[in-house]
Structure formats: structure tokens, C-alpha cells
Amino acid sequence: MAFAFSTFLLVLLLAPSLLLHLSAGESFDVRQHLSTVTRYDAVKDSSNANFLPSAIPDGCKAIHLNLVARHGTRSPTKKRIKELDQLAIRLDTLLSDAMGSQKDSSFQKIPKWLSGWQSPWKGREKGGELISKGEEELYHLGLRVRERFPELFDVEYHPDIFSVRATQVPRASASAVAFGMGLFFGKGSLGPGRHRAFSVLSENRASDICLRFYDTCETYKEFRRSQEPAVEKLKEPILDEITSSLVTRYKLNFTRQDVASLWFLCKQEASLLEITDQACGLFSADEVSSLEWTDDLEVFLLKGYGKAINYHMGVPLLQDIVQSMEEAIMAKEENCTPGTFEKARLRFAHAETVVPLTCLLGLFLEESEFEQIQREQPLCLPPKPPQKRNWRGSIVAPFSGNNMLALYQCLDNNSSGIMLSGAHRSKYFVQVLHNEIPTPLPGCGDRDFCPFEVFKERVVNPHLKHDFHSVCNVKLELPEAKIEQIESCSLI
């Protein structure tokens, strides 16, 4: 009896820690840890719990909106479809080899889905198109934008008032159409939904320096080609460690390439097909976190803060945004009639567009790091799990990820307390929303409601010394040790 009672006490003492362990496991949703393959719905409500967004003061009204959005969830590209076809052949070989060399008891450890697995995209000749889930993401984003800024969309549609632009890539233009169908829902006369036709403009791929600058910047393309092998080298220790664990766990002779392909399959299954118990089920939560980090590392180094060229080439986009704001301010100052000037500039592009703009704005940085990029000093790599990090591809640029810059006009008698440095009162303010969530700007004292003059002076102007043509037509010195030098201050 005494033994039973003491055992009962021990269980009671351990129960909280057991429950904590279980709840931690249950709260881990792999669909939120797929780096830039993450679906928008999985992370759009993620916010910085330590930051309280500003309340827009009475008398402040949105007068212009800039949106830069990534295309919605898409199917794997043609190249990746072939990789998955090769994976099916490879898995069949691994299982055959295991059958010839292992005892029956070993097969109990092998997940049943591996036997006879075929890629869901087998036989597909084309890929990369926007899928129905991606259409829904953009459509509902359009509905929410109109609901959030009703004062901007209360006039009749005209292509000069609501400018919709996309890259010359089908998934981007399809995303623009899906968004517009939500934004202008019920505003026309077409069909039961009272849809209306609207214009989507695209610049030629070869000359689009606003939305496809990464494709037209020769310096960047050379940088990326030269650094991709070094980035892959940085990933290898993680992949090797996980490969060893999977070999031990499942008694199959996986290689590093097998694990990389299985991780890619996990991302596609979880994001596109809502399947989380097959390829993703091969990995523990800690292993998923480590694989996510390797992807985030690549985004950081080849698209983000890892090298100044990554975002300096996006300066034409930043200039275009500021110019549209200045034109809206001028129209207001000249008392132009509503419906005669542009109220929204809406752009649809790619992660390679959204990430550099995010960096130009200084998002996901501490204030000290913001000062570093203003001085063009390299940053340390995002810290390795289990350490926390600001830079996560699933938040920075998921499918349909976006940056919105809303320009507000504030009436003098209602904007008390909103002051510039000194005694000057500001009349126009910029609010930056990342994935629809107001986001603090390090360049504006970590405020999300920033006087336009301060936004220009502290966030925009330091970048304007970098002209696209001078940035993209210079020979970079790229010593082999460059990435290793960045690594040394982070992977300790």
C-alpha cells in the first residue's frame, strides 16, 4: 500500500512536466516551419507579442496605399517535379536493399507509406503555377485590404487610381487577378458576384528593375552564382547529423541528398496537400527546426541582410513607393478632387522582391543592427535553434507574404502629441504593415506610425546613394572566405 501511495505521489509530481512536454509537442505545427514554402494562412496572424501597435489617432485618414506582395501558394517547379520523381526511384531502391539485408523485425521501423510511394506530381510536364489555395489567399487578402482601408476604395475604379502591377510570370499575374477579384468584389456587373474587369500591367522581364531587379542586376547574379556553393557547405553539418539520425531510426541507408529531397517533399506535402504524417513524420520537431534554419540561412545570405547587394538592387522599388506617396501628398496639398489621383499602387511579384524590400525598410532587426546596415556592415547569421531569432523565412516571405505602406493625413487639431523633433508638427505619416500586422521601424525609433519626413530621412534617404545601374554594373570582390567570416560571429 505504501509503495502504491508513493508511486501515486511520484506521478503527481511528474505530471506537470509530462504535461508540459506533451503540450509543447502538440503545439508544434510543422506547417508553420517551412521557411518560404509556408502557406500564408499558417502564419498571417503571427505577431510580435512584445510590440503593441499604435492606435491611429482621431482625425488621421489613409490617403494612399502601397502593397508589394509575393504570389500565392504554387505547385513545385518543373525542376523540382523531376527531383521528386527521382526520389521515388531512390526510395524503391533503398527498400529493396533493406529487404535483402535486414531481418523482418527491422521492417517494423520503416513507415508503411514509403513502400510504393509515387510523387503526387508524377507525369506533370509543367509546374510553378498558382494553385487554388494560392488563389484563395490573394482573394481573401483583397477582401481584407478593402475592409481595412474603406476610405481608399470608396471611389469608382480607374486604372490610374488603382494601379495593379505584376511581373511577367503567370503565378504573379494570376495572384494580381485573384487579389483584384476580392478587392473589387461587388463593384461591377459581371456575374452573380458583380465582378468587374480591371487592368494588370507588366513590365518586360528584361527591363523590369522595379519588381524583377534580381533578374536584371548582373552584379547580383554573379554574386549569387559564386556564393551558392558556400551556402550549401554551411548546411552540410545539419544535413549530415539528421541523415545519421534517420539511418539509425529507420535502418535505411539514406544519403545527405535523400534527406534534402525528403525535406523538400515534407514542405510540399504540408503546404500544398495538408499532409503532415508522411515525409514530415520522418523528422522530429527539433530536426524540422534545424532544417528550417538551413533554409532561412540561405534566404538571409542570398536574398536578405547577408550582403548589401541583395537589397541595394531593390532601391528602384523603394523610390517608386516614395514617389507615389509624394504625389499623393501633392494632390492633397493642392486640394485635388477625389477620384482624380492615384489612391493605391498594388504590386505582385516574388520572394526575391519582397525580401529585399523588407531589408530596405529595416524590418526584423534590432536598432543596433539597423545602424549596421545603414553603415553597410555585415550582420551575424540568424542564431541556430533552439535560440530564438527574428529572421524566419516563414514570417519574412511566406506564400502571399506582403509589405503594405499606408500613408495617412492627419488634421492639425486632431494630431496633438504627434510631433517631429523640435516644435514642428507632422501632417503626414507612414504605417508599415508586414503580412497585415503593424510593424515597428528601427529607423523610426521602433514606432509603426512614422512621420513621413522621418521615414524619408532615416529609412529611405540612406539607401538613395545607391543607384541601380552603378550597383548592378560593378565587379564585386568575392573572396572565398567571405561567408565563413560572417559565420564566425554566429555559429559559436
- The DSSP output letter for 412 is G
Residue 3 pLDDT: 38
CA nearest 214: which of 339, 346, 77, 316?
A: 316
pLDDT at 72 (0 to 100): 98
Count CB-CB contacts under 10 A for residue 409.
19
Amino acid type, 116: G
Q: Which domain holds residue 62?
A: 37-75+130-219+300-487
Q: What is the pLDDT of residue 117?
A: 97
Give the Cα separation of 354 and 360 in Å (integer).
10
| Any domain includes 246 | no
* Residues 212-228, mean pLDDT to the nearest whole number: 96
Alpha helices in 184-255 (DSSP H): 213-216, 218-250
Distance, in Å, from the CA atom of 71 to the CA atom of 200, rounded to the nearest integer, reads 14
Cell of 245: 539520425
pTM of the model: 0.90
Q: Which of 89-103, 220-234, 318-332, 389-403 has the weakest average pLDDT?
A: 89-103
Burial of 53 (0-12, 13-18, 19+ CB in 10 A): middle
Confidence of residue 478 (pLDDT cuts 50, 70, 90): low
Nearest to 489 by CA among 384, 379, 362, 390: 379
Which letter does DSSP use for residue 30 in this model? G
468: nearest Cα among 313, 360, 317: 313
Cell of 201: 500591367
Give the pLDDT mean for 251-277.
97
Query: What mean pLDDT comes out for the span 348-374?
Result: 92
Helix or strand holding residue 173 (H, E): helix 170-183
Query: 283 in a domain, yes or no?
Result: no
DSSP string, 414-455: G-TT-B-STTPBP-EEEEEEETTEE--BGGGTTBSEEEHHHI
The C-alpha R_g of the chain, in whole angstroms, comes to 25
Cβ-based neighbour number of residue 252 at 10 Å: 20
- Asked whether residue 4 is assigned to any structural domain, the reply reads no
Q: What's the rounded Cα separation, in Å, for the pair 151 and 48? A: 28
Output the DSSP codes for 357-380.
HHHHHTTT--HHHHHHHHTTPPPP
The total of structural domains in the chain comes to: 1
412 vs 197, more confident: 197
The pLDDT assigned to 181 comes to 97
Spell out the alpha helix ranges (H) of 303-424. 309-312, 315-333, 351-361, 367-374, 393-396
pLDDT at residue 325, as a whole number: 98
pLDDT of residue 477: 64
Q: Look at residue 1 and tell me whether its pLDDT is greater than 50.
A: no
Task: Tell me the torsion sign for CA atoms 81, 85, 88, 93.
Answer: negative
Query: Which cell goes with 335?
Result: 486640394
Q: What are the two backbone dihedrals, phi and then psi, of residue 93, each rounded to the nearest 5 degrees?
A: -65, -45
In a domain, 235, yes or no: no
pLDDT at 487: 52
354 has pLDDT over 90:
yes
| 84 falls within a domain | no
Asked whether residue 106 is assigned to any structural domain, the reply reads no
Asked if residue 234 belongs to a domain, the reply is no
431 phi, psi to nearest 5 deg: -115, 125
Average pLDDT value for residue range 260-280: 98
Three cell numbers written together for 271: 503546404
Average confidence score pLDDT of the chain: 88
The answer to whether the bond into 386 is cis (omega within 30° of 0) is yes
Which three cell numbers mark 485?
567570416
**pLDDT, mean of residues 29-37:** 97
Those residues with Cβ within 8 angstroms of residue 221's Cβ, 6 or more apart along the chain or in another chain: 214, 215
Q: Is residue 255 part of a domain?
A: no
- Beta strand pairing status for 428-434 and 402-410? antiparallel
**Per-residue pLDDT at 10 exceeds 50:** no
Task: Centre a 10 Å sphere on the Cβ of residue 170 and count the other Cβ atoms it contains.
Answer: 14
What CATH number is associated with residue 395? 3.40.50.1240
Q: What is the pLDDT of residue 99?
A: 82
Determine phi and psi for 433, rounding to 5 degrees: -120, 125
Confidence of residue 102 (pLDDT cuts 50, 70, 90): low
Quick one: pLDDT at residue 483? 53
- Assess contact for 38 and 394: CB atoms under 8 A: yes
Residue 2 banded pLDDT, cuts 50, 70, 90:
very low
Q: Out of 22-26, 68-72, 287-291, 438-442, pick the least confident.
A: 22-26
pLDDT digits (tens, 9 = 90+) for 365-412: 876 898 888 888 888 999 999 999 999 999 999 999 999 999 999 986
% residues pLDDT > 90 (the chain): 76
Say whether pLDDT at 421 is over 90. Answer: no
Q: What is the pLDDT of residue 46?
A: 81
DSSP 58-107: TTEEEEEEEEEEE---BPPPHHHHHHHHHHHHHHHHHHHHHHHHS-GGGG
C-alpha cell at 400: 502571399
Query: Is pLDDT of 24 > 50?
Result: no
